[in-house]
Amino acid sequence: MPSPDPRAHTTLGSAAPVEAAEPFGAPPVGAAAIELRAVTRVYRDRPALGPIDLTIPAGEFLTVVGPSGCGKSTLLSLVAGFAPPTAGSVLAEGSPVTGPGPSRGVVFQQPRLFPWLSVSGNIAFGLKRWPKTSRAERVAELLAMTGLENAARLKPYELSGGMRQRAAIARALAPRPKVLLMDEPFGALDAFTRERMQEEIRDLWRSTGVTVLFITHDVTEATTLGTRVLALAGPPGRITLDAPVSGDLREKVEAAIRTAASARADTTA
């Protein structure tokens, strides 16, 4: 698969080219965007994740799949900086992750838009320190990128589910993050909208070159969206499969998940 070109992209839902903004301080494709070194996470004396060693190269689209309770969201939370590891270290481009930061944008299953703000206001929320002109230009760019130009002044309650999630993605991308973290972002959408959003996020990744860590329960979603798939089992969460996308990968992932589910049932019986 060709590497994404970070300098050119197309508007979501449109074939019209849009000039891309230069990512700030973007590392060369292939360098480590995220590293987890011997990471574990314990909640109230209950091991939830690890130990895990993981490297995510810049520009990669990594999908993480596994049964409920296997540590997928915990993994994303550690990378986002929402929680510290109990042991080990999480690094973003070689620097320790000590909390949330603009270099890592997060999209949740629910859009979590601010209901009192318009679409434009939501997108601009994380740009308060930007000069006013630059902020307006960035919002306009993201509205075009996500096909929300005509919804700029609408409030979240006036949008469809797919449009709200587009706005959430635009807000996460606003500060030009180097890594986009997505925690089952399409899980609450209907099948038709979900399929369309899958195509659009794939196009967005190709066009911007942002590194993506995508959490899902859906094996098909994991194997069609990602360039590399991680299967987790647990608790505590551990990697049972780490492989690039290939023709027979879906069968391998399904087998890994069945094995994980069977092992979990045996331990809880």
Which pLDDT score, from 0 to 100, does residue 267 have? 60
The C-alpha atoms of residue 9 and residue 18 are separated, in whole angstroms, by 6
Q: Is residue 19 included in any domain, yes or no?
A: no
> Where do we find the tokens 């006036």?
158
Rounded distance between C-alpha atoms, residue 104 and residue 33, angstroms: 10
Cα separation of 56 and 59, whole Å?
9
**Cα–Cα dist 184/64, whole Å:** 10
184 and 149 share a domain? no
CA distances to 10, 38, 85, 178, 179 from 6, in Å: 11, 32, 32, 11, 13
Per the document, the length of the chain is 269
The answer to whether position 21 is within a domain reads no
Nearest to 90 by CA among 179, 184, 209: 179
**99 and 60 co-located in one domain:** yes
Q: Within this chain, do residues 128 and 53 fall inside the same structural domain, yes or no?
A: no
What pLDDT was estimated at residue 260? 66
Q: What is the pLDDT of residue 263?
A: 64
Domain-ending residue, one of 153, 176, 199 = 176
Read off the pTM: 0.81
pLDDT tens, residue by residue, 11-38:
343 333 323 333 333 444 557 899 999 9
Going by C-alpha positions, the residue among 8, 26, 5, 57 that lies closest to residue 177 is 26
145 and 94 belong to one structural domain: no
Same domain, 38 and 156: no
Last-in-domain residue among 148, 176, 204 = 176
Q: Residue 222 and residue 6: Cα distance in Å, rounded?
A: 23
Mean pLDDT of the chain: 84
Number of domains in the chain: 2
User: Quick one: pLDDT at residue 18?
Assistant: 29
In a domain, 18, yes or no: no
pLDDT digits (tens, 9 = 90+) for 241-266: 998 887 677 777 777 777 766 666 55
Q: What is the DSSP letter of 130?
A: S
| Segments forming the whole domain that contains residue 71 | 27-103+179-263+265-269
State whether 126 and 84 are in the same domain.
no
- Do 130 and 251 share a structural domain? no
* pLDDT given at position 247: 67
Task: Let me know whether 183 and 221 are in one domain.
Answer: yes
Whole-number Å distance between alpha carbons of 251 and 267? 25
Same domain as 154, residue 55: no
- Rounded to whole angstroms, the Cα distance separating 135 from 124 reads 7
54 domain-assigned: yes
φ, ψ for residue 168 (rounded to 5)?
-65, -40
- Tokens (6 digits) for 122: 């939501």
Do the domain assignments include residue 2? no
Q: Are residues 147 and 252 in the same domain?
A: no
186 plus 269 within the same structural domain:
yes
pLDDT tens sequence across 41-84: 998 889 999 899 999 999 999 999 988 888 999 999 999 999 99
Supply the pLDDT for residue 100. Answer: 93
Q: Are residues 157 and 168 in the same domain?
A: yes
Distance CA 114, CA 230 (A): 32
Distance of alpha carbon 141 from alpha carbon 157, whole angstroms: 23
Q: Is residue 39 part of a domain?
A: yes
- CATH number of the domain that residue 75 is part of: 3.40.50.300
pLDDT of residue 265: 54
Average pLDDT over residues 6-10: 33
